[in-house]
Structure 1
Amino acid sequence: MALPSKSEVEDLVRSLNEVAQAYSDAPDLDGYMSRVQILDKARKLTQALITPDQKPNYHGLNMAELIAVRTFMRLKVLDAIPATGSISLDDLSKTTGVQDSLLERMGRILVASGFLDQTEPDGGEYKHTKFSLAYILDKPAPGHLYLAMYDEWFKHMHNFDDYLVERGEYTEPYDPTKNPYTAYYKQEGTPVWSIMMQHPERLQAFQTGMAGLDVAIPVTGHFDFSTLKNTPEEEANGVVELVDVGGGEGVVLNKILEAHPDLSPKSCALQERPEMIQLAKANSTLPSDVQLLEHDFMTEQPIKGAKAYFMRMILHDYADAVGVQILTRLAEAMSPDSRVLICEMVLAPRVGEADFASAVLDQAVMTMGGKERTEAGFQKMFGAAGLELVQTWRVPGVPGGCVEARLKK
């Protein structure tokens, strides 16, 4: 039993009390950081009190909670619990058509983990917590991000040890067509996105969930896109201000244009697969004068000498070697004044309470042969593509950033 001494516990409690004095419920950066500091100290206290003998039980609780949450979401059990008030086990069973014994056993785990609650100390009716309410999928909510992580990551990675041993190759997945995701569907050799498109409803759920990452990887607030505004001479020469490479149907580019009205839509371009360009046209996602171009970023970049080539949450889907290929195509099209802007997670050398989500996402994209990177990781990849890192632009308090690179001098 590796238990801390009484004085060690007192020191940890004292440290927790000190940061608790600065607690703020304000929805700004200062409030967020005050809560992060409290959580960090509370976690250290909890870790000190848990013994190695107990750790497997907590791991088991985590695993059981993941399964129970997904099951309750799939069977619409959370929807059947009133937003306010409570519901008996019998009524919950009748409403959902799920056996009462199964509900009770799954619910027991969720109450123990704090995801759900009951009305009495020794049981009682079931009621929502702030967490379970956020997992009802009647509108975009945190539950969509959980759904994306469970269905498109956890299901494919739970037997990652078997995956490595069966291949006899103990390396990070690096092939976008041969990885844990493609192996799960027995479609090795097929790109992940092609497999996703075989299930349109899951692709839609995945995209909705990924929108939840906007807080961690903000679209604006880091790099000043207004600095890309053309001079009259550049405008006359048809210089493109911003190319959103692989930008989906244009939602992100539209946010940039709204936040930076100095940019001219006619001097901006969206590049994507044909089906996404058609979607952008059908939904009128962007101003009508934005250039919409069908393009595969693995091939030659058709827009030469743009002021900026922007990619958000693209490179993290690929291993370093593939990322270098993508960046090389951009470098070949760049002028000395052009820049590449990569907007995604920028891992710290050691992650903690404030940024552990970046390490979680790193394992999630590993499922499909992708990778999150440190600043040094970006620098290495840029160098191999003939680029050099200029600066990492950040929004305080979030793990995502915008990494700027230019041609090597």
Structure 2
Amino acid sequence: MSNEHVHQLVALITEAAKTIEQEYAKGPDPIIPTLDDTKVHTTDSIPPSATFRKALALLEGASAQLLATVAPPAHTIVNRVMSFNDSGCLDVLVQNKIPDILKGKPDGVSVSDIAGATGLNEGKLERILRRLASTHILQEVKHGVFANNRLSQQLVSENDLSAFTKSCTVDIQTGARALNAYMNDHEMSFVELPQNTPWNKGSGYHKPWFAWFQETPEGAQSAINFNRSMSAFIPTVGREAIVDGYPWRSLPEGASVCDMGGNLGQFLVLINRKYPHLNLKLQDLPAVIEEAKNEYWPKEAPQALESQKIEFKAMDFTSEAPIPGCDIYYVSMVVHDWPDEVNIEILKLIKSAMKPDSRILISEIILPPLAETPDYEHAPQPLLPNGGVGAVRAYNLDISMMILVGAKERNLHQIQVLGDSAGLKFLKRWDMGETDLLEFTL
């Protein structure tokens, strides 16, 4: 028996790193920045290509599998179990706006000054910041003096990624800490209801997470974080690739695109910027629509408002049909929020509004199969067929949906079954990298 499996993993890492370097070379800033470089790089605002995303997933999967292979098992398990400190320390960093304190100060700020600005215990804060710096979030420029780096500067309070971090470290962690208690409470875990979740178990709130948003002051604040966090989450999973990857340009002048449950309309803003010939319609809950109409769109796409290219209409898509007669009904990150029976009803309501040539585009992160299947592109050996850690974000999202709303991510076949059950015909799967686009028709 040889060490060929180790050599194969090293070769995959080398190949993926070379591909990523080539992708950087195609842009205006071909040099990959160091972690200590806080200058904004063009790749920070330009959506990465599908080639880049696939190479990055390969690099993540092969690197993690190589470490798990060569390290003693106890070494790996101890590190995994203690990774809960990542969330705890990040929570301290973001909730106390420490990246804001360090902003624009490349020489750093002493921990005593940071403690003075935040009111936190200096000695304990220094240990937390050093833990973060050891995993490349922040940098310690000299002993006891910390500065932002390429990662931590993304967590200033004005950046939507800070809101996403709060949603994870507060709401999701509330449920994650109660996950085992929830699994062993059969009255909760064996009943598929949106108010029977690990988050309910951990928070003690007895209604669904989304109801908490509307009924409590704490929930209202979390709703604000959640809405902002979607602006940060969309680019990380490659949904922006759909802007270029689907033939929007071929749609005729004035064709209508209805984004159901589209939050503030972040995706439609991207569509409007690139395809201004399309008429856009945004539908979501009343409070979200008010924020979109009065705050988000006037800031992000005022020209769309002036030219009347965007229409806003509040709705509850679990009980109401969308605006009738649209050419495209875009349903993104909605299916994963609901159990099968609710999703089937949502799709039936959309079907009732469709005209004969309408299309439904379902944008979801599709769970790649862990076992080899003939109809799916698998990662190269010796990686796991699904790519291992390179695909772990899909599984993290799956567990997060179980924790918060009792829902789940699905594989391709499971979503096809939902469409069939609603009387729809599956037309095509558009591979967008991490996020897939599934097209259905009447």
Structure with higher RCO (Cα < 8 A, 6+ apart): 2
CA distance in 2, matches of 1:86, 1:378: 50
Give 1:214's match in structure 2, choosing from 234, 239, 251: 234
1:93-132 deviations in Å (ceiling 9; x for gaps): 3333221221133234223333333345xx5533333222
Give 1:380's match in structure 2, choosing from 394, 417, 421: 417
Give 1:53's match in structure 2, choosing from 52, 60, 74: 74
Determine helix, strand or coil for the equivalent of 1:134: helix
Give 1:356's match in structure 2, choosing from 392, 400, 407: 392
Give 2:118's match in structure 1, choosing from 78, 84, 96: 96
Residues 332 and 32 of structure 1: is their aligned pair in 2 closer, same or farther, counting only changes over 3 Å? Answer: closer
Q: Aligned residue for 1:75?
A: 96
Structure 1, gaps ≥5 residues long:
none
CA distance in 1, matches of 2:285, 2:16: 49
CA distance in 2, matches of 1:69, 1:388: 45
CA distance in 2, matches of 1:13, 1:303: 53
Q: Aligned residue for 1:66?
A: 87
Residues 74 and 348 of structure 1: is their aligned pair in 2 closer, same or farther, counting only changes over 3 Å? Answer: same
Q: TM-score, normalised by structure 2?
A: 0.76
Which range moved further: 308-317 or 62-71?
308-317
Residues 371 and 117 of structure 1: is their aligned pair in 2 closer, same or farther, counting only changes over 3 Å? Answer: same
Determine helix, strand or coil for the equivalent of 1:363: helix
Determine helix, strand or coil for the equivalent of 2:126: helix
CA distance in 1, matches of 2:20, 2:287: 48
Whether 2:267 is the aligned partner of 1:252: answer yes
Determine helix, strand or coil for the equivalent of 2:229: helix
CA shift at 1:378, angstroms? 0.7
Q: Aligned residue for 1:229?
A: 252
Identity %: 22
Alignment length, in residue pairs?
386
Say whether the 8 Å CA contact 2:53–2:434 is kept in structure 1.
no
Determine helix, strand or coil for the equivalent of 1:54: helix
Q: TM-score, normalised by structure 1?
A: 0.82
Whether 2:435 is the aligned partner of 1:400: answer yes
Q: Aligned residue for 1:162?
A: 181
Q: Aligned residue for 1:271?
A: 283
CA distance in 1, matches of 2:6, 2:293: 61
Q: Aligned residue for 1:365?
A: 401
CA shift at 1:12, angstroms? 4.5
Q: Aligned residue for 1:143?
A: 162
CA shift at 1:385, angstroms? 1.1
The structure with the largest alpha-carbon Rg is: 1
Whether 2:108 is the aligned partner of 1:86: answer yes
Say whether the 8 Å CA contact 1:148–1:210 is kept in structure 2.
no
Whether 2:216 is the aligned partner of 1:179: answer no
Whether 2:237 is the aligned partner of 1:195: answer no
Q: What aligned pairs does 1:209-358 form with structure 2 within 5 A after superposition?
A: 209-215=229-235, 216=237, 217-218=239-240, 220-229=243-252, 241-263=256-278, 265=279, 268-283=280-295, 287=305, 288=308, 290-301=310-321, 303-350=323-370, 351-352=386-387, 353-358=389-394
Determine helix, strand or coil for the equivalent of 1:221: helix
CA shift at 1:314, angstroms? 1.7
